Chain A
Amino acid sequence: MQRLVLNEEQQMLKDSAAGFLKDSGSVSQLRELRDNRDATGFSSSLWQQMVEMGLAGTLIPEAFGGSEFGHVGMGQISEQAGRNLTAAPLFASGILGVSALLLAGNDDQKKQLEAIAAGQLLTALAIDEQGRHAPNRVSTTASPDGDGYVLDGQKTFVVDGHVANTLIVSARTAGEADDEAGITLFLVDAKASGVEVERTIMVDSHNAAVVRLSGVRVPASAVLGAVDQGYSVLTSLLDIGNAHLAAELLGIAEESFEQTMNYIRDRKQFGVTVASFQALQHRAAHLFSELELLKSVVLKALRSLDEQADNTSAMVSLAKAKACEIAQLATNEGVQMHGGVGMTDEYDIGLFMKRARPLQQLFGDYAYHADRYARLNGY
């Protein structure tokens, strides 16, 4: 069995992503985008550089213009994006869009991978219809119409939906509201008639959208995968998404922790550093231990995806659950240990707390994945 450590190639990817994002996709860039009310919410020059470095094609096979470094490789970039709060469409397009096409796309549809690798196509996944994640709860309908379909319904929390060219939409072609069977995935042109996209600026200054579909006509060729069988594709796709969200949350938790440790080593009260107080030391040491566990399960989940292990879904839910729990703990402790300045916009720690929560909610939080882990283990 392969050792549970990064290989040389993955370590290099991690180091280069760390250096690059610290320089070019940092927290100060996010602040600028926010304060200038940027029209897209991300830096197009950063995205262009990421494309040129091949980051957008990390999961794409070489035949389609990518480097096929796998999920452990891409996960290193996700982790560094978490450390820097990087605003870029890498997750929506380079991970979710690419994986959807790889999992279910036909030969024609897979050609779009080249456009993603080249930075010419942005995608967004439009699946949830209510605040709390529930991928089976689909009331958006796709009704047969001639040799195509007509879509009606509304999607929410569509990450980077405001800039996407293509929306990947789940819609009901059969069954009742909560049924897993009868869900079909569609590739929908964001400019198609009847598609209305409303940008929603989120608490973390990143972006999502509400997508309204009113009598949107799509051809039969827009179906991604098999009709009525979309849920199993969606399950695999969400496993991929959640493993990378766990990696990004790991980056957020690590960076919050390190910044907080630096702060308490410097901050003096009562004539000594606050790091000398055992009340803080033990909480910090506990958090350190939890972070070590989180690193392990994130790597395990990414590795499981690459190896297509039988227990991949359980390992992903384990990683996402722990990532939600520990990112929440690390950011909450971060703000508290910073004291008053933790409440200010000037210090970064608050931004990390605000970034963690939407990522926790996206595709299921701690409770969602703890429940799923239990079900997958027969209880």
Chain B
Amino acid sequence: MADLETFRQETRAWLEQNCPQSMRSPFKSDKDVCWGGRNWTFQSDDQRLWLERMAERGWTAPDWPAEYGGGGLSREEHKILREELARIQARPPLNSFGVWMIGPALLKFGSEELKRQHLPPIVRGEIRWCQGYSEPGAGSDLAGLQTRAVDQGDHFIVNGQKVWTSYADKADWMFALVRTNPDVKKQEGISLVLFDMTTPGVSTRPIKLISGSSPFCETFLDDVRVEKNQVVGEVDKGWGIAKYLLTHEREMIGGFGRTAAGQKTLPRQAVDQLGLSEGQLADSFMRADIARWDLDAKAFEVTVERVTDEARSGQGVGHASAMLKYYGTELNKRRQELLLGIYGSEAMVWEGEAWQEGALPRQWLRSKGNSIEGGTSEIQLNVIAKNILGLG
């Protein structure tokens, strides 16, 4: 325990020295988020410094092994780092599908060669990744994907189309599910492959969403050459890795909408907007709606704590991620609808600096996708019913 206390003191001192002041406040808008990559333009010197310094210590991926550039921290040390970062309200130095998704998959399933090639640039924020899963004809039925990879001896030639590829237009590399064998059960002919987005034959087109933004793209793959050594795990065995990654993604999306440190809670926003009457929110119907949401949100937060603790103690049900994804995204949608009521017509304004360029209606619209992406709510309910409850 003494070692951990030393670690905490050293971490605190290092952060005090190295975290620029302007990086010690919550993000004001999406523009403040650092995604890194070859084409990244840093918003400020501080943003660049903060990424470089954290990456230097491997603290953009604190629990990855040091030999691949990670921080090599134990679970306890990682927790302390998170606490110390939260203490000074430090911004995440890097948002990265590399750190969140393909990195963990490579650590678990990748060859030594792939780990050495791909993990260190992820840690340093030099390579930005995107995920090629869904296709026009394969959404909820993901295993029905048709993008075809034909064996050419030392490489594959890939043809097909991906859709809902987050930030494909800004990404440097893609991890994609492709069909390597069309003659077997659909789950058994899928491989997970990696390729550079500048490879000839790769093109992207952003999709404009109801929220006005275009975080997703269509990605077209025309005779794209993928080297054989860029297959993660075994050929035709990609579905298992895909499911592992989907679990990761569900947990991530299920966490959307939780009140971040320093952010005002929903009831607090309601009190500020509507005022109190005899100690109670002035609008009694809205108060009841907000309390109902607040109870569920707090219960969800406690459940995340319990499920996490159970996993650490080696207990608990599998497939908890389906439940968390389902419930967390539905909660966030309810929260966004309540915010519209709290702010009224102010939440209807689409443009203008005084209204943060329509942040409220845009995030309300964005939230509708939470229960669709990463497996719809209905798919999560199917997973629970079939895999946990044995109904079928």
Contact = CB atoms under 8 A, between A and B. Distances in A.
A5 B391 contact: no
Contacts of A216: none
A294 B298 CA distance: 11
A288 B388 contact: yes
Interface stretch (B205-213, B346-354, B376-384): B376-384
Nearest to A322: B299
A377 interface: yes
Contacts of B386: 281
Interface string A335-379: 000000000000000000000000000000000001101110111
Given A264-B391, A374-B287, A379-B280, A297 B382 contact: no
Interface in A146-176: none
Interface in A238-270: 261, 264-265
A293 B382 CA distance: 19
- Pick from A4, A278, A322 the residue with the most CB of B within 10 Å: A4
A318 B295 contact: yes
Contacts, number: 123
B13 interface: no
Contact of A297 (B290, B292, B299, B385): B299
Interface in B251-297: 267-268, 270-271, 276, 279-281, 287-288, 290-292, 294-296
A115 to B, nearest CB: 37
Contacts of A288: 323, 384, 388-389
A269 B95 CA distance: 51
Contacts of B378: 282
A371 B290 CA distance: 11
A286 to B, nearest CB: 7
Given A265-B390, A322-B299, A289 B384 contact: yes
B323 A289 contact: yes
A300 interface: yes
A5 B281 contact: no
A295 interface: yes
B287 A379 contact: yes
Nearest to A317: B295
Interface stretch (B31-39, B150-158, B300-308): B300-308
A321 B295 contact: yes
Contacts of B280: 374-375, 379
Nearest to B323: A289
Nearest to B282: A379
A281 to B, nearest CB: 4
- Pick from A4, A322, A374, A379 the residue with the most CB of B within 10 Å: A379
- Pick from A5, A280, A294, A373 the residue with the most CB of B within 10 Å: A5
A157 B110 CA distance: 65
B392 A275 contact: yes
B56 interface: no
Contact of A293 (B270, B303, B315): B303
Contacts of A276: 391-392
B195 interface: no
A318 B271 CA distance: 20
Interface string B314-333: 01000010010011000000
B288 A370 contact: yes
B299 A379 contact: no
Q: SS class of chain B's interface: helix, strand, loop or mixed?
A: helix
Interface string A265-308: 10000000001101011101110110011111101100000000
Given A285-B389, A318-B299, A374 B306 contact: no
Interface string A309-330: 0000000001001100000000
Contacts of A281: 381-382, 385-386, 389, 391-392
A265 B281 contact: no
Contact of B381 (A5, A285, A377): A285
Contact of B295 (A4, A370, A378): A370
B176 to A, nearest CB: 30
Contacts of A293: 296, 299-300, 302-303, 327
A286 B270 CA distance: 28
Contacts of B288: 370
Contacts of B292: 370
Interface of A: 3-5, 261, 264-265, 275-276, 278, 280-282, 284-286, 288-289, 292-297, 299-300, 318, 321-322, 370-371, 373-375, 377-379
Given A265-B391, A292-B323, A295-B303, 14 more contacts: A4-B302, A5-B306, A5-B313, A261-B389, A261-B390, A261-B391, A285-B380, A297-B299, A299-B306, A318-B295, A373-B295, A375-B279, A377-B294, A379-B276
Interface of B: 267-268, 270-271, 276, 279-281, 287-288, 290-292, 294-296, 298-300, 302-303, 305-307, 309-310, 312-313, 315, 320, 323, 326-327, 378, 380-382, 384-386, 388-392
15 contacts: A5-B313, A5-B315, A278-B382, A281-B386, A282-B381, A288-B389, A289-B327, A293-B299, A295-B303, A296-B305, A297-B299, A297-B303, A374-B280, A377-B267, A379-B267
